[in-house]
Structure formats: structure tokens, C-alpha cells
Structure 1
Amino acid sequence: MPTQDRRTQRERREHAEAALISAAAELVVDTGVRSLTLARVGEKAGYSRGIVSHHFGSKQGLLDALARALQSGFVPGLDEQPPGLERLLALVGGYLRALGSRSVTGRAFLLLWAESMTSAELKPAFRDRDVGFRHDIAAEVAAGIADGAVRADADPADVAVAVVGQLRGIGMQYLLDPDAVDLDRLGDEVTDHWRRALAPDEPSAP
């Protein structure tokens, strides 16, 4: 039936795109960002270069899709929690633990993010993703202020910049020297830090 055919075609497209994104991430980790080409991605995924062009249009389109995919669903389970401090803390701890899993996804993201500092191809996608990341963190802080879990004088935008800077900085240290950075332990340490830093002041004793 036509409806079934359309569904099958969509599923094939989604499967191909996922395979190509996975191949691109593996190539970034194995050989570096600069060696990434549509032909090499297609070959690694078992497709032709033309298929890669069909799905992403260009190397820039592939890089944009890769940037989105690497940061989407990085910390599972967040949508099940209400907005506010606890969800922010789950994000912070979960982010570091996800990086510590030594997965291809985590390493590829860090490599691409570092490369985006000097790459005209990568900078727009990663800048936009960081804007979105800071916006999401600021929203959690604002929700925490509204429900009383976060001190009223905390500035959501400033906290967001500090959190992203801390997470990215730890990630870069891990990329340079994985054995020196225990991300599982740091997940707990950084979570505790932000819980204390954002907690409302205790009322003074009479």
C-alpha cells in the first residue's frame, strides 16, 4: 500500500543517515577532522559518495548534521524530570559521565568542538549549539529561582556561561589526558559544587 511504501522509504532514509553520521564520527576519532570527506564517509558506511551528497548536500551539511547528532540526547532521561535545579544537576553530572564512557560520540564531539575554534566550517554549527546549550541551562536556573530551589540573586545567563565553560574545560582536559581525569568522580564533585553554589542562603539565626 502507498502508506506502507512511504513508511519504508522513510525508515531506509533514517537508517542511512544514522549509519553515515556514525561513520563520520568514527572517522573524526580515527583520523581527525581535516581528513573527513564525503567519499570517505560513504565508503566507511558502505554507501557511495553520491548517497552522502544526497542526504547532506555538502561537507558543510554533513558537519552541521554531525554537530546536531552528537549533542542530541547526550544525557538521557532529562525530559522525564521537571525543570529546575535537580534537572540542571542531572545534566551536569550526566554530561561528564557520558564523556567518561570513552564512547566514539563523546570523543568525536570534543574533537569537533576544539576544532571549531579555528574552523570556518565548524564554528557556526558549534557556536549555535553552545547558544542553545546556554539557553537551556539558563532556563533551568530560572525555573529553580521561581520554585525557590535556587538563590534569588543568581543570574541565569552568567550561571549558564560558567557551567558550559566548566564542562567544556573538563572535557578538553580529558581529551588531552584521559587517565588524569576521572569523569565519574568529577560528575559527583561538580554536581555538589553547583548544588552548594546555587542554594538559597540559610536564614540567619535570631
Structure 2
Amino acid sequence: MNPAAPQRRTQVERRNDSEEALLEAAADLVAERGIERASLAGISDRAGASRGLASHHFGSKDALMARLAQRAQNTINDAMTAAVTRSGRLVGDIPGLELLRSTVDTYLERFENPTSEDRALIVMWGATFPAEASPKGMLDADQRSHDGWTAMIEQGQRDGSVRTDIDPSIGAILLQALIRGLAASLLDSPPAGKGQVREACQAWITSAFTAPHEGTTAPPGSSPGSP
């Protein structure tokens, strides 16, 4: 066998490449037109494939949107994991409050210079508002995101960095709302102000979630379950 000869791709590799091209095309169309106007046939066309390929690979538009949402979330999670790895620590060894701050900052940093995939994620977040028309895959992704924020708050409460008078599930809802509202706002904000937005966000998280030190009290006006 000639070692210089190009190796033939396996069927699995070809399928993965096709799905990757379709997901990239889907991100472009969703970011440009919204979910309703991003048809499976149009996604196949944008990927330069036969019109039925997206349906062949994913079965339905809902399934494709679910994969696209998960792909975008995984990209952000990978960025967060990389930041933790650079610190030389494991996620479980990081105080929960620090993990919350780092995760929020990772999200917002991406949306300062968003890709089509990032923009598509914001569009898909908005698609969850009309409940009957909401793609089931997005609802599932929302629940996973909520569970992740909840787990970080609970970790902080166990290690003493996060206030214990916050209901973790309610805190997770607040963080999701904060991220999504700011992410959408950052898309068209002047570049000079984006860093200040992230700094203000970090200050708010510190103020709202930090456990009071011994001999101090919770912030004025706070009540159990209401950060």
C-alpha cells in the first residue's frame, strides 16, 4: 500500500461530516430567518446537499433543532471546561460562587463576538415563549440548563460560598433570565460597553449570591428564596 495515497473515509466519518455541514447550515438559516422559516429543504440547500438529506439524517425539524441547541450549549460548556482546566483544578474543587461567576462570564464573552451558532441559540431561546409552538428539543435543553445552574448553586451552598436562604431552583431561573437577556442585548451593543456589562454582571452575582460572613447579615430587603 502506498503510504502517500489518501485514505478513504469510513461511512461513519462521511455521515458525521454531512451532519456537521447540515448543522452549520441550520445555524446560519436560523440566525438569519428564525426557526419557522428555516425548513429542512432549505437547510439541505444551504449545505449544498440533496434536498432530502436533512430529513434523512435527523428525521424531523424538531430533532435537528434539538441537536443544534445541544451543539451550541456543548461549545459553551467546552469553553468553561477549558477555563477550569487552565486553573489546574477540578470543577468539584471550585467554590460554587466562583463557578457561577466563571460560567456566566464564559457565556457573555461568547456573545460579545457571536458566531452564527451563538445567534441561532438566542433565536431558539426566544422560540420557547409560545408553548404550543415550542420545539420539544429546546424545552429539554432548557431543563438541562436549569438543572446545571441549580447544581452549581447547591454546590456553593454546601461549600459555604453561596447564601443558603436562596432556593436553588429560583436562583437558576434568575441566572437563566440574566444570561439570555444580556446575550440578546450584547448582539448589537457598542463594543466599548460590552466589557462593562460583564463587570456589572459579576458585581451583581457577587452581591446577590455571596454567603454572608460570620457576624454579618444578608443584604437588606432579601428574604428566603429571593436573592
Query: TM-score by structure 1 length?
Result: 0.85
User: Match of 2:100?
Assistant: 88
What amino acid is the match of 1:47?
A
1:54 maps to which residue?
56
Q: Does 1:179 align with 2:190?
A: yes
Q: Which runs of 4+ in 1 moved over 4 A?
A: none
Q: 1:9 to 1:34 in 2, by over 3 A?
A: same
Question: Structure 1: how far apart are the matches of 2:131 and 2:19?
Answer: 24
Amino acid at match of 2:125: W
Q: Does 1:117 align with 2:119?
A: no
Q: Does 1:195 align with 2:206?
A: yes
Percent of pairs with identical residues? 30
**Number of corresponding residues:** 200
1:99: Cα distance to partner? 1.3
Residues 75-124 of structure 1: CA deviation (Å, up to 9, x unaligned): 41336442422222111111111111121111111112213323745342
Aligned partner of 2:74 in structure 1 is: 72
Q: 1:25 aligns with which of 12, 27, 31?
A: 27
Offset of 1:62 from its aligned partner?
A: 1.6
Which structure shows the bigger proportion of residues in helix conformation?
Answer: 1
1:52-71, CA deviations, whole angstroms, 9 ceiling, x for partnerless residues?
11110122222222222222
Give the alignment's Cα RMSD to 1 decimal: 2.5
2:145 is aligned, of 123, 133, 136, to 133
Structure 1 counterpart of 2:173: 161
SS at 2:205 equivalent = helix
Contact 2:105 2:198 in 1 (8 A): yes
Structure 1 gap segments, 5+ residues each: none
In structure 2, stretches of 5+ residues that fail to align are 1-6, 217-227
Question: Corresponding residue for 1:108?
Answer: 120
Matches of 2:31 and 2:174, distance apart in 1: 27
Residue type matched to 1:33 in 2?
I
The 1-side partners of 2:162 and 2:128 are apart by 33
Deviates further, 134-143 or 113-122:
113-122
